[in-house]
Chain A
């Protein structure tokens, strides 16, 4: 039955639904993913998308399994039955077997041929993942996808080095799920409903039970009121003043008939939270930057929903919000009796709902002004955590005029920087262009000097005044373009997760180059 299938799917995906929710799951299942090259790195990426429910995918590979003996069976998704079959077909069959809810497709063509035959072939995809692509193919595909606004994730396992490059013009993130978000309590700018709520409390006239079960937010608010009236409306600012404020609260703890302070955990909580409670409410600079964006201020009928919503939030901030974002509406748990806590929670919740309605009105009027219709998503709750990621194109990275020389040279100043591996990968690509093979596949010694020539020509072409030690050139010849499975698997997990982020618009993707060094188990994110 439908219901039974739904529950069994929910059970299967339970552990990941706790991370990205049903809406995230839906985007993952329905996205159109294309993988180019069914070698270990690629099939590992697909495996990590198929397992969590990727319903369908397209695998493109013009190679036949078995033409390069060393590739057989370092890939978990090729078996002895795969010999002679097209690689994409073989991998698709074994991947499909992983999850009964999915079914993939394959095409036996190289990406160059696909582009030759139909330049718009790749436009239909939510994301294209290219593995071990030669430089020319990569740049060509990169350009096509850039202009079609399709995110492109480039991956490469080369010996004990892993490489990923994200190419996306603009990627909006609504739910970034930051690890340590500060609470939105507004104690420095209490809103009207909050003020009247704390008016209803008179700490001095409460009996012990009520006094000990008053939420710490109320306590801090009350004491802050008193402090402000005694300090010329100036809140505690430096350490000394905050200490004095903490002491002020501490003196409010009830004492028994012998003058000994009672055990009032809620007061202890108040004292402990003074520091964060006194944080001024302000709009994160990342969000301010978004407000200043062209797309935010220039709404047309082509503007994506994210920017319309953001503009509505900005309008809210400048009007009903009095300079603040819509209230998040949640409060942390704290020592309190049920009723006091629920009542306080409802004050925040109601205000948050009111703010959402305010933002919605702005959305409506903006849409009306450009004649568009769109759907709502949880923008307000996440207003402080909105992020936009913009990557430079491959063309910008590779062009002599716009290469990021500063990033390269400043990284190369540190002896242990992973930047050297990026440069070596570029040199190796150059070697392939010149010799139609990678260095060290058969012999190491003879290729070292050839690779060194490629390194020098690379550095010269981009006028990079950096030094690459011979050891790295030797090592990259030694690799012989091997694809060790554990490095492929590490990339497989990393790339799959970035793909999920791009598909779901949850969590923040990297920008824009990731290098993994399995020799030292270190990594770096470079901005190239």
Chain B
């Protein structure tokens, strides 16, 4: 689209431009905004239009807000994170923080384009921030080589918008819970200034989704938990004595043979160690031969069980979803257009398919409804049954819930798994009935779990 121009004029213009950029070409100052750098963004900030958000007002201040004030947190510096950082930086966002607890692996390089082979072993957050800051003058990405759980409310409160490119549902739920805990209510009315919008993206192979969450106002992660079906686990009897598929053979070695034979000492199986995988592979082949099962391959062995480390992934899907997410960050930060309300699904297996819908809030959502959850059990039910309900129920899907309550004015732990000594001490409670434990109808139980930064309150409702 360059206009026809005399070569001399062109040459002089390029010279001027090079000069302007060289003067303050460093990345620390904001003094690198040569004329025209943000033209493409300004058209959407300085011109009125028929489809803008009702709150939109054209002004030159919006661009300044993006460049100097708007603070964005990107969670994850992997497939989605790299794309998000690039997209936000190229749109003018400069105050960006990125959190990621992982280090770079060779298998990341087919899509996490801010990393090179020489970076393998280094922290993703550090390398990503470095690359962006060098390539895009003026951008100031601050890396955090940490888990999201390492930060508390004071950290998260400083951001205008948070965008997630996570690969774990547990982490998403934790983040979701954290932002809900930041909400403040006055006389039962939500204070809008306490809302930090959360934009969440996820991909798997050729499928992906992007969603906009306004905590306390729109559907949150837990409201739609049923959209994430729990993983399929093979039954133990199949693995132990009746394998039919190559996967069963691999699981046998992983779950039963490895702990028994301890081939590399007391270390647990490391999915990233070729020696470990090779050992499992060879034993799995032996077992398969015993049962005349074919199909045990090295690749299949690496991929068992299907977990975040081996979900198929390509650059293109991450590019699409991260782009959609970044567009929403821009819309919310500037009111340029009405944000997505609130869920986008994408699939390009057969042609390209998108579906946009409004996910609804759940009235009794365990995360955002502020209503104590109902637990219906007969007094003769064992605590074990309550534990199973908390983990298996599709709307709760807790991982290792810790249950406490108040009895005779004192705080009592009914069961806790994560600390060995307490687990041993409270294990007998699992076989006791709710009545035997001294619990009464209407009793409140407080449940803590990795899926949420706050405890969830439950109310016992005795059935006949």
Known A12-B109, A14-B107, A507-B349; contact A493-B17, beta-carbon cutoff 8 A:
no
Q: Which residue of B lies closest to A524 (CB)?
A: B354
CB neighbours (8 Å) of A336 from chain B are 242, 244
CB neighbours (8 Å) of A522 from chain B are 354, 356
Q: Pick the contact of B293: A179, A338, A490, A523 (CB < 8 A).
A: A338
Task: Check A18 against B317 for contact (C-beta < 8 Å).
Answer: no
Task: Check B136 against A73 for contact (C-beta < 8 Å).
Answer: yes
Task: Check B44 against A482 for contact (C-beta < 8 Å).
Answer: yes
Q: Which residue, A52, A67, A339, has most C-beta atoms of chain B within 10 A?
A: A67
Q: Is A53 among interface residues, defined by CB-CB distance under 8 A?
A: yes
A520 to B299, CA, bound (A): 41
A33 to B154, CA, bound (A): 50
- Interface positions, chain B 1-57, Cβ under 8 Å from A, are 1-5, 10, 13-14, 17-18, 21-22, 25, 34-41, 43-44, 47-51
CB neighbours (8 Å) of B90 from chain A are 73-76, 485
Q: Is A84 among interface residues, defined by CB-CB distance under 8 A?
A: yes
CB neighbours (8 Å) of B344 from chain A are 521
Known A80-B137, A98-B113; contact A486-B340, beta-carbon cutoff 8 A:
no
A213 to B243, CA, bound (A): 12
Q: Is A11 among interface residues, defined by CB-CB distance under 8 A?
A: yes
Chain B: number of interface residues, binned into ranges: 35 or more
Contact with B along A165-181 (1 / 0, CB 8 A): 00000000000111100
CB neighbours (8 Å) of A177 from chain B are 349
Q: Is A462 among interface residues, defined by CB-CB distance under 8 A?
A: no
A45 to B111, CA, bound (A): 13
Known A176-B350, A493-B317, A518-B327; contact A70-B39, beta-carbon cutoff 8 A:
yes
CB neighbours (8 Å) of A444 from chain B are 47
Q: Pick the contact of A69: B36, B314, B326 (CB < 8 A).
A: B36
Stretch at the interface among B173-181, B216-224, B305-313, B432-440: B305-313
Task: Check B17 against A475 for contact (C-beta < 8 Å).
Answer: no
CB neighbours (8 Å) of B113 from chain A are 47, 51, 98
- Interface positions, chain A 463-486, Cβ under 8 Å from B, are 471-472, 474-475, 478-486
CB neighbours (8 Å) of A178 from chain B are 349-350
CB neighbours (8 Å) of B109 from chain A are 12, 51, 99
Say how far B49's CB is from chain A's closest CB, in angstroms: 5
Q: Which residue of A lies closest to B292 (CB)?
A: A342
Q: Is A66 among interface residues, defined by CB-CB distance under 8 A?
A: yes
Q: Is B413 among interface residues, defined by CB-CB distance under 8 A?
A: no
Task: Check A510 against B18 for contact (C-beta < 8 Å).
Answer: no
CB neighbours (8 Å) of A523 from chain B are 352, 354
Known A176-B350, A497-B314; contact A84-B14, beta-carbon cutoff 8 A:
yes
Task: Check A478 against B107 for contact (C-beta < 8 Å).
Answer: no
Q: Which residue of B lies closest to A18 (CB)?
A: B312
Q: Which residue of B lies closest to A10 (CB)?
A: B299
Known A100-B117, A493-B318, A494-B320; contact A53-B17, beta-carbon cutoff 8 A:
no
CB neighbours (8 Å) of A486 from chain B are 87, 91, 323-324, 326-327, 330
Q: Is B372 among interface residues, defined by CB-CB distance under 8 A?
A: no
Say how far B141's CB is from chain A's closest CB, in angstroms: 14
CB neighbours (8 Å) of B48 from chain A are 478
Task: Check B37 against A72 for contact (C-beta < 8 Å).
Answer: yes
A103 to B169, CA, bound (A): 38
Q: Which residue of B lies closest to A333 (CB)?
A: B245
CB neighbours (8 Å) of A485 from chain B are 40, 86-87, 90-91, 326
Task: Check A489 against B322 for contact (C-beta < 8 Å).
Answer: yes
Task: Check B244 against A482 for contact (C-beta < 8 Å).
Answer: no
Task: Check B317 against A484 for contact (C-beta < 8 Å).
Answer: no
CB neighbours (8 Å) of B4 from chain A are 436
- Interface positions, chain B 326-371, Cβ under 8 Å from A, are 326-328, 330, 337-338, 340, 344, 347-352, 354, 356
Q: Is B106 among interface residues, defined by CB-CB distance under 8 A?
A: yes
Say how far A475's CB is from chain B's closest CB, in angstroms: 6
Q: Is A6 among interface residues, defined by CB-CB distance under 8 A?
A: no
Known A17-B299, A66-B14, A482-B44; contact A342-B39, beta-carbon cutoff 8 A:
no
CB neighbours (8 Å) of A216 from chain B are none
Task: Check A338 against B244 for contact (C-beta < 8 Å).
Answer: yes
Known A487-B327, A490-B323, A518-B327; contact A15-B312, beta-carbon cutoff 8 A:
yes
Task: Check A478 against B47 for contact (C-beta < 8 Å).
Answer: yes
Known A132-B1, A485-B91; contact A52-B314, beta-carbon cutoff 8 A:
yes
CB neighbours (8 Å) of B292 from chain A are 338-339, 342
CB neighbours (8 Å) of A74 from chain B are 40, 90
Task: Check B244 against A507 for contact (C-beta < 8 Å).
Answer: no
Q: List 10 A-B contacts (CB under 8 A).
A: A48-B316, A48-B319, A51-B113, A51-B315, A64-B14, A177-B349, A338-B291, A489-B322, A490-B323, A519-B337
A sample of 13 more A-B contacts (CB under 8 A), given A52-B111, A521-B356, is A8-B106, A12-B107, A14-B302, A16-B312, A18-B312, A48-B316, A132-B1, A333-B244, A474-B50, A483-B40, A493-B315, A494-B352, A514-B352
Q: Which B residues form the contact surface with A (CB < 8 A)?
A: 1-5, 10, 13-14, 17-18, 21-22, 25, 34-41, 43-44, 47-51, 83, 86-87, 90-91, 106-107, 109-111, 113, 116-117, 135-137, 205-206, 210, 238, 242-245, 291-293, 299, 302-303, 310-324, 326-328, 330, 337-338, 340, 344, 347-352, 354, 356
Task: Kindly list the 4 A-B residue pairs having the minimum CB-CB distance in the complex, ordered from nearest.
Answer: A493-B319, A69-B36, A70-B39, A493-B320
